[in-house]
Amino acid sequence: MAFSADELRVLRRALAVALHPAPLQDEDVQDTLRLAESVDEAVREAGRLRAFLLADLARYREALPGSLGGYLELLQDALAAGYDPGADDLAALRALRRNPAAAELLARCQILAERSVRARLARVSQATGTTAGR
């Protein structure tokens, strides 16, 4: 997300007030609220874009092997955006691993999937340990 010069000015003022509380002028309050609304809208738009990307990825995966090139490209884009490959992705890539690009992507996805599983297990373990200690 990129901020304009005016938005950075508002953000800088808001952070300064947070660090050194002082009364705000009405204009500063309104500017801060507008900036917050803009950030919220950007977050919502990112969510909509992610949902569209994942739906598109599923459509391409369902059309394999005919959509191989498009699927691999979309999967790479999704991974770059923080997507954790699922079981369907791993199965599709395993079926396509004769293709060098698919084999390379499979190796990358297996590492990411393993990291994701380990992170989830660690969170569950922490949550279980936290509730057991009460």
Tell me the C-alpha distance between 28 and 10, whole Å.
7
Split into its structural domains, the chain has a count of: 2
Q: Which of 35, 62, 89 is the last residue of a domain?
A: 62
pTM, rounded to two decimals? 0.66
Same domain, 76 and 116: yes
CB-based contact 61:89 (threshold 8 Å):
yes
Q: What pLDDT is attached to residue 131?
A: 61
| Claim to verify: residue 44 and residue 77 sit in the same structural domain | no
Cα separation, 57 vs 78, whole angstroms: 8
Q: How many CB atoms neighbour CB 85 within 10 A?
A: 22
Same domain membership, residue 134 and residue 77: yes
Which of 43, 62, 81 corresponds to the end of one domain?
A: 62
Q: Identify the pLDDT of residue 122.
A: 92
Q: Which domain holds residue 127?
A: 71-134
Shared domain for 48 and 77, answered yes or no, is no
Instruction: For the chain, list residues with pLDDT below 70.
Output: 1, 130-134
Do 129 and 77 share a structural domain?
yes
- Do both 52 and 83 map to the same domain? no
Inter-helix orientation angle 68-80/100-132, to 10°: 40
